[in-house]
Amino acid sequence: MPSCVLAYSGGLDTSVILGWLIERGYEVHAVYVDLGQPCEDRQAILEKAKNVGAKSARIIDAQEELCRDLAFPVMQWQAKYEGVYLLGTSIARPLITKVCLQVAREVGAEAFAHGATGKGNDQCRFQLAADALQPSMAVIAPWRIEEFRRQFPGRSEMIEFCRQRNIPVKATASKPYSSDENCLHISYEAGRLEDLSVNGCELVEFGMTVSPQQAPDKPEQVTVAFESGVPTAVNGRRLSAAELVKELNRIGGRNAIGRIDMVENRFVGMKSRGVYEAPGMTLLYTAHRIVEQLTLDRDLTHLRDRLSPEVAEMVYYGFWYHAKMDALMAMIREAQKPVNGEAVLSLYKGNITVAGRSSPNSLYDEGIATMEGGGSYNQTDAEGFLRIQGLPSRVQARVWPRSF
């Protein structure tokens, strides 16, 4: 009997795929990679996999690795896909793939299965990660198999499949939007969200954040500390990477921080609409940028900012295990060494303002920057500086005068 490892979330797609693979003669090992999903009952998901007929079902906790080794380096790059999306799902997929391949090696499985559709980005992230880590491993993507698509042309058929087999799932025919969650964020897509005239933030039942209208009527302050660009403490309390993200999720969530509704360009070429919430990571990106403003050299900051969209694109597309990414991550580790300090943020009904900042490595010199007289900056020096800077323009203006 052929065997495979299934990246199992317990949601509609992977519940159907588990049953479908078993009915086609596969011995399936279900792997639920615990990434701190805030709204899921892990034991119920495990029991469901066993009840459906999985050969084995296990939960593997990878929360700390997700935050420490993947999310924090991406945050240090200030990487946002198309300037908005904090990549919560994108970051998780290469780690899920790695964990599943480790289990496949342990149980002797010859295939790795996932529930990503043939229209989306996740199939790319799973496939490219598997190719990079274990190129000999077969990848089963049922949504790319015509027989599977004929049996399940829509989500209503999948819901009926589960109903007939007493497989409990959250999705219903009346509210069939899909969600993906981990401790970094929750994403929502499909169903009525495909109608761009619908207000996504009113339709979605958010799991991590309250609406601005429900948030407190007074600001809340939070202090985030960094060491070499790595967040280490919240409000003076040192925390592990995963616990730090969760604490900021709680603080940001109750203040309506981190909701977005965007139309993005998928790797496969189409545009799609997604609604996201990422309260903790939104706070981290903001606090990190504030400490960097004190500690990073201008030219290094600008170089990082030019490369940041490249990193976001690679993460979004699924090129995590790639030579270019290895080199970029080595660069950001070096660049972040002076990023030590604290940022104090004031949160109010979805808004973030700076309440304070400090760093032992601060490059800000009030004596130089002051607009008052005195200090070590001699304004007369600017005359020669500007004469040199303006030399090319003066030469060009004599040769090729501009009309004005």
Which of 93, 125, 259, 357 does the annotation list as catalytic?
A: 93
Which of 13, 179, 259, 357 does the annotation list as catalytic?
A: 13
Let me know if 149 is a catalytic residue: no
d(Cα 266, Cα 15) in Å, to the nearest integer?
25
Rg of the Cα atoms in the chain: 25
327: Cα within 13 Å, side-chain hemisphere: 5
Q: Which two tokens stand for residue 316?
A: 């979004």
**DSSP state string for 16-54:** HHHHHHHHTT-EEEEEEEES--TT--HHHHHHHHHHHT-
257: Cα within 13 Å, side-chain hemisphere: 28
Nearest to 63 by CA among 249, 228, 287, 204: 249
Q: Which two tokens stand for residue 238?
A: 């040192």
- Please give the pLDDT value at position 63: 98
Which of 9, 15, 90, 178 does the annotation list as catalytic?
A: 178
Let me know if 333 is a catalytic residue: no
Under 8 Å between Cβ of 208 and 277: yes
Which of 122, 155, 179, 187 does the annotation list as catalytic?
A: 122
Q: What is the pLDDT along the chain (404 residues), one digit of tens a residue?
A: 899 999 999 888 899 999 999 999 999 999 999 999 876 788 889 999 998 999 999 999 999 999 999 999 999 999 999 999 999 999 999 999 999 999 999 999 999 999 998 999 999 999 999 999 999 999 999 999 999 999 999 878 988 998 888 887 766 555 657 788 999 999 999 888 999 999 999 999 999 999 999 999 999 999 999 999 999 999 999 999 999 999 999 999 999 999 999 999 999 999 999 999 999 999 999 999 999 999 999 999 999 999 999 999 999 999 999 999 999 999 999 999 999 999 999 999 999 999 999 999 999 988 787 767 667 788 899 999 999 999 999 999 999 999 99
- Tell me the domains of the chain and their CATH numbers: 3-176 (3.40.50.620), 186-358 (3.90.1260.10)
Q: Residue 389, by phi and psi: left (phi above 0), alpha (psi -120 to 50) or beta?
A: alpha
- Please give the pLDDT value at position 368: 80
Torsion over CA of 225, 256, 172 and 88, rounded to 10 degrees?
-30
Let me know if 69 is a catalytic residue: no
- Other CB atoms within 10 A of residue 353 CB: 12
Q: Using DSSP, state whether 57 is helix, strand or coil.
A: strand
Q: Which residue is listed with tokens 């998780």? A: 92
Which amino acid, 225? Answer: A
d(Cα 335, Cα 361) in Å, to the nearest integer?
13
Backbone phi, then psi, for 127, in 5-degree steps? -65, -45
- Please give the pLDDT value at position 226: 98
Let me know if 217 is a catalytic residue: no
Torsion over CA of 132, 136, 138 and 144, rounded to 10 degrees?
50
Alpha helices in 31-139 (DSSP H): 42-52, 63-65, 72-76, 88-107, 122-133
Entry pTM: 0.94
